[in-house]
């Protein structure tokens, strides 16, 4: 399936890096009964064959809080690693980073939020305390030459405290960057952002952190994710987090629906002539397989639109 029209629009980036978060951000939200370790491994191995260069495959958090990710060490151990792909793990603290090192993750990601209330509910501490925890977590990662990514949730709105001031996002973002995160992923966790809000937030953040060091992590609750991503592309952001089949939500943000679907984003980027190195046909096949395995409707309109022409199911 080819939807390319080159060259890309003159005001948009030529190239974008997709960060696939489905095996972590997506599956952490599925009922545990649907998830076997073998299924996760199969999903990651299929994604690895699609041209993606970065896949978040594990999460070393408390299994009491997120039991879906309790087998992360085994997943990291048993996937078939392809050269050129960075397999990442989400880590809330020093203990998580140690487990990720033990499991030979290629990089780790720490996570906080722009909202105090969300941070309390998600990781049981204040924003300041979360940053303090990250100091030792980042230090040990650096000792082992592991790149550290940072996430900030609720960058345009919080399910508990409402609107978020872009300056608050900028402040947390600057702290994470100064602490040594190579890239900060900005999460519209509840998916309530609209393009203008996203642009204002990015403008505030970009005063402190280079735009080349930022990523967009948008959820699609109100169908705004692609429009928001386009707005971010216009601001020159070149990294996008996506989740195969639109899996996801957030266990600590009730009402939030899935992450933006990888295949929807890729379809748009291909159409804009923006290079990603990822193959849409392969992803659509993975998406169909995944939805069948999880016994859920297809999460992406792209897969539905093309299924009769290209997919053997
Ligand atoms: P806590 O209860 O405040 O902390 O949890 P604690 O230090 O007192 O530890 C409690 C228990 O957790 C202890 O075990 C620790 O050993 C254990 P116990 O003595 O009770 O048996 N523990 C750990 N176990 C495994 N791995 C660890 C770890 N650390 C402590 N790393 C904590 C604090 C952060 C651990 C907890 O709140 C937690 O795990 N929360 C889970 C948060 C989470 O995973 N949320 C979803 C991911 S974030 C997200 O999806 C948003 C994002 O996608 C961006 C967006 O969309 O906006 C990134
Ligand atoms: Mg998320």
- Classify domain 17-294 at the CATH topology level: TIM Barrel (3.20.20)
For the CA of 113, the nearest ligand: 1
Q: Which of 188, 205, 311, 210 is nearest to 258 (CA)?
A: 188
Q: Are 63 and 69 in contact (CB under 8 A)?
A: yes
So what's the pLDDT on residue 249?
Answer: 72
Q: Are 194 and 152 in contact (CB under 8 A)?
A: no
Report phi then psi at 150, rounded to 5.
-120, 145
Measure 166 CA to ligand 1 centroid, in angstroms.
Answer: 26
CA distances from 65 to 11, 129, 136, 234, 248 (A): 43, 19, 22, 38, 16
Mutate to test the pocket of ligand 1, among 19, 56, 61 (most ligand atoms within 8 A of CB): 61
So what's the pLDDT on residue 307?
Answer: 42
So what's the pLDDT on residue 312?
Answer: 35
Report phi then psi at 2, rounded to 5.
-125, 130
So what's the pLDDT on residue 115?
Answer: 97
So what's the pLDDT on residue 7?
Answer: 53
Q: Which of 306, 193, 243 is nearest to 54 (CA)?
A: 243
Confidence (pTM): 0.94
Q: Are 95 and 64 in contact (CB under 8 A)?
A: no
Does residue 123 line the site of ligand 1, with CB under 6 A?
Answer: yes
Measure 253 CA to ligand 2 centroid, in angstroms.
Answer: 10
Mark the ranges of the chain whose per-residue pLDDT is less than 50. 2, 307-313
So what's the pLDDT on residue 281?
Answer: 95
For atom 52 of ligand 1, the residue with the nearest CA is 153
Does residue 98 line the site of ligand 1, with CB under 6 A?
Answer: no
Rounded to whole angstroms, the Cα distance separating 196 from 74 reads 42
So what's the pLDDT on residue 308?
Answer: 39
Mutate to test the pocket of ligand 1, among 19, 62, 219 (most ligand atoms within 8 A of CB): 62
Q: Are 69 and 28 in contact (CB under 8 A)?
A: yes
Does residue 72 line the site of ligand 1, with CB under 6 A?
Answer: no
Rounded to whole angstroms, the Cα distance separating 145 from 262 reads 29
Q: Catalytic residue at 250? A: yes
Q: Which segments of the chain are extended strands (E)?
A: 17-20, 54-59, 86-90, 107-113, 148-153, 157-158, 162-163, 183-188, 214-218, 239-242
**Pairing, β 54-59 against β 17-20:** parallel
Q: Which residues surround ligand 2, an ion (CB under 5 A)?
A: 25
Is the peptide bond between 13 and the residue preceding it cis, with omega within 30 degrees of 0?
Answer: no
Give the active site residue among 158, 173, 181, 250.
Answer: 250
So what's the pLDDT on residue 189?
Answer: 93
So what's the pLDDT on residue 254?
Answer: 65
């Amino acid at each position: 399936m080819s939807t390319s029209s080159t060259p890309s629009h003159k005001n948009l980036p030529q190239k974008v890096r997709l960060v696939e978060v489905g095996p972590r951000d997506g599956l952490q939200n599925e009922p545990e009964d649907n998830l076997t370790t073998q299924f996760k491994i199969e999903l990651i191995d299929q994604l690895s064959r699609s041209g993606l260069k970065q896949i978040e495959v594990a999460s070393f958090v408390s299994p009491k809080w997120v039991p879906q990710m309790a087998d992360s060490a085994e997943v990291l151990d048993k996937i078939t690693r392809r050269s050129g792909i960075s397999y990442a793990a989400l880590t809330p603290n020093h203990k998580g980073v140690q487990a990720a090192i033990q499991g030979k993750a290629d990089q780790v990601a720490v996570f906080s939020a722009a909202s105090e209330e969300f941070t309390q509910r998600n990781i049981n501490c204040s924003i300041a305390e979360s940053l303090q925890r990250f100091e030792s977590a980042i230090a040990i990662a650096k000792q082992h030459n592991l790149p550290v990514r940072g996430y900030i949730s609720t960058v345009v709105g919080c399910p508990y405290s409402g609107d978020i001031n872009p300056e608050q996002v900028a402040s947390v973002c600057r702290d994470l960057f100064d602490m040594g995160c190579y890239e900060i992923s900005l999460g519209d966790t509840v998916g309530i952002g609209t393009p203008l809000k996203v642009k204002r937030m990015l403008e505030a953040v970009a005063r402190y952190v280079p735009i080349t060091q930022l990523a967009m992590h948008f959820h699609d609750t109100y169908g705004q994710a692609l429009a928001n991503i386009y707005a971010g592309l216009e601001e020159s952001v070149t990294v996008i987090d996506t989740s195969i089949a639109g899996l996801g939500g957030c266990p600590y943000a009730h009402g939030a629906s899935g992450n933006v679907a990888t295949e929807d984003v890729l379809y748009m980027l291909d159409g804009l002539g923006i290079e990603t190195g990822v193959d849409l046909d392969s992803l659509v096949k993975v998406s169909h397989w995944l939805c069948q395995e999880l016994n859920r409707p297809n999460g992406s309109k792209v897969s539905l639109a093309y299924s009769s022409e290209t997919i053997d199911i």
